[in-house]
Structure 1
């Protein structure tokens, strides 16, 4: 059995472990104890990384890391012809395991990972790597984490803000690279959504406290849209205001809006502000009104590079159903850039 096949099987086993861990089926095992301790440490280190959100991320990956889904994903590529390279990954740390897809893509195509972790997410990846290397020893030497200057790599995948992206483009311009910038997700409402659909949209807004690029941070609504219907449908998410960091952001941003005489709508745990920007502060969502669907489609097409996901129903090709933004499939690449294709082309250089 070649190393690529061994890596494939290792990730299938990791998926099984994630599912069993989240379902409590292996409580009492040494690995269950270790993961529980590290999750508690991650929460202590980063207050946004609650146990619930970490479990949500682990379960999401557990559902994707199956023999069937991994095989279907990779069947679109000639992975077996890949020549091993070392790929540097600079990870964001805004939500738990946000760089896992890059980590998976690099290893499962037979490459080696040289990762620089975000200071906000330094505990989960080393533990997952340790688990993988224990169940598949051939991965030892293929996973390296560093806090030093990145050196001796063949390609780079870097995720950061618009400011850091400019630095990345300058620093990594001489070799193959994927440089990701800020993107945000939006929802297009018509006023005909059911209460269930709007409640599901609440999941897209509030999961990970709205910190992910797949989190909905802006709504497009028709003129005279009734926001009372929206607020009523998402009321079940009101316990989020009990999280201290979220509540502090709510109070601070509300004060800023009021002192600036901005008009806002609020329900005690979410503020809505009319704004042309896509990136809204924590505990708030921006909105814009539109006159016609075709006019809005043209606008979104022009500004496509600012948008990660579009949540809608029957509005545009590639849209995502309400409540599904944080459940991407393996083929749903960040910024629409096919990472596996990039890695395979890099191996031929």
Structure 2
């Protein structure tokens, strides 16, 4: 099956997804198979929260729109143009997916199929519905894809390579079980923001998107701030109030109450605005509803620290203080060529 046909199928999927937004769904009569999939997808989005309490319609719509914007002909061509794809016999690649945010494993799925391989997917119990639905749409668009896509609920078997995502603990098991196969094993990572005190309120409102999108559950969510000594939090908290409604979501509120109580019982000093806490801490991984912060004495020393800790970091956000950093508000809008853990998935797949 030609790569151009597969690309066309994913572009068609992007057009399908573009019909669905949090501000309202608008059917496009030019989209293929809407009679089978349009209403069913709306129903699935509305039911997602019953499958995973964190998957509110707003969060699922955001993920859907992000992929609608990514799956264009221009983006896919720009992404794949840097690679030479050999005409090898397709291999079978097993995927073990996380389920922390909606469609978190879609990029790996997309990469395997467009690389010419077959994919066997083991879904997370926290996200079992969305990707199989999109796979069914792809197969409706191009029935030949059916032989390339398999979902399994049991043990992964009969595969040539594997991409597995999990915690640091599960990664140790993955590394043992898959040591004899080509693999990418993804562990816990966190994202940080570096501020210098010259940020505008708009910058900080955008930073709030990096903190609160998906309730802070993603590895691309900012969980740690690096601040200059003497930083004034006034403007920061003014900007964060734009996201105050998050406390009305019960699961988030429960985490806020619990984590705040744990901190206070441990006699930690906190900054608190009634829906998020800030705690001075050298760690990168903060609990839901909390962001850690740490002061830095010089940008150069901080750059050295971040370089030394790069294996723990997914994204660095700043206004250019750190080279190759991401602009505020953009962490949850990665490009197709922004690889998780900075591991080039396509290059790995070409070489297996």
What RMSD over aligned residues (CA atoms) do the two structures have, in Å?
A: 1.2
Partners of 1:38 and 1:334 in 2: CA distance? 27
CA distance in 1 between partners of 2:129 and 2:163 (Å): 20
Could you tell me how far 1:148 is from its partner in structure 2?
A: 0.9
How many pairs does the alignment contain?
345
Match of 1:240 among 246, 251, 258: 246
In structure 1, distance between residues paired with 2:141 and 2:321 = 45
How far did 1:147 drift?
1.4
Instruction: Please tell me whether residue 90 in structure 1 is matched to residue 96 in structure 2.
Output: yes
Cα offset, 1:29, TM superposition? 4.3
Offset from partner CA, 1:4-47 (integer Å, 9 cap, x none): 22111000000000112336221884412100111222211111
Any idea what SS the aligned residue of 2:147 has? coil
Moved more, 197-206 or 20-29: 20-29
Extract unaligned runs of 5+ from structure 2: 29-33
2:170 aligned with 1:164, yes or no?
Answer: yes
Q: Could you tell me how far 1:201 is from its partner in structure 2?
A: 0.1
- Deviation string 1:72-100 (CA, Å, 9 cap, x unpaired) is 11000112534311100000000000001
- Where 2:192 maps in the other structure, the secondary structure is strand
Deviation by residue 1:146-182 (Cα, 9 ceiling, x = unmatched) = 1111110000000000000000000001010000000
Q: 1:11 aligns to what?
A: 10
> Are residue 201 (structure 1) and residue 202 (structure 2) matched?
no
Q: Corresponding residue for 1:113?
A: 119
User: Is contact 2:224–2:286 with CA below 8 Å preserved after alignment?
Assistant: yes
3-state DSSP of counterpart to 2:185 = strand
TM-score normalised by structure 1 residue count? 0.97
What TM-score, normalized by structure 2, do the two folds share? 0.96
How far the C-alpha of 1:60 sits from its partner, in A, is: 0.5
Structure 2: how far apart are the matches of 1:194 and 1:83? 53
Runs of 4+ aligned residues of structure 1 deviating over 4 Å after TM superposition are none
Alignment of 1:172-321 (within 5 A): 172-321=178-327
What is the match of residue 25 of structure 2?
24
User: Are the counterparts in 1 of residues 86 and 350 from structure 2 also a CA contact under 8 Å?
Assistant: no
- CA distance in 1 between counterparts of 2:268 and 2:247 reads 22
Q: Aligned partners of 1:29, 1:105: CA distance in 2, in Å?
A: 28
User: Separation in 2 of the partners of 1:82 and 1:322?
Assistant: 41
Distance in structure 1 (CA, Å) of the matches to 2:337 and 2:43: 32
Output the CA distance in 2 between the equivalents of 1:183 and 1:323. 18
Gaps (5+ residues) in structure 1?
A: none
CA distance in 2, matches of 1:241, 1:302: 36
Corresponding residue number in structure 2 for 1:137:
143
Q: Who is 2:349 aligned against? A: 343
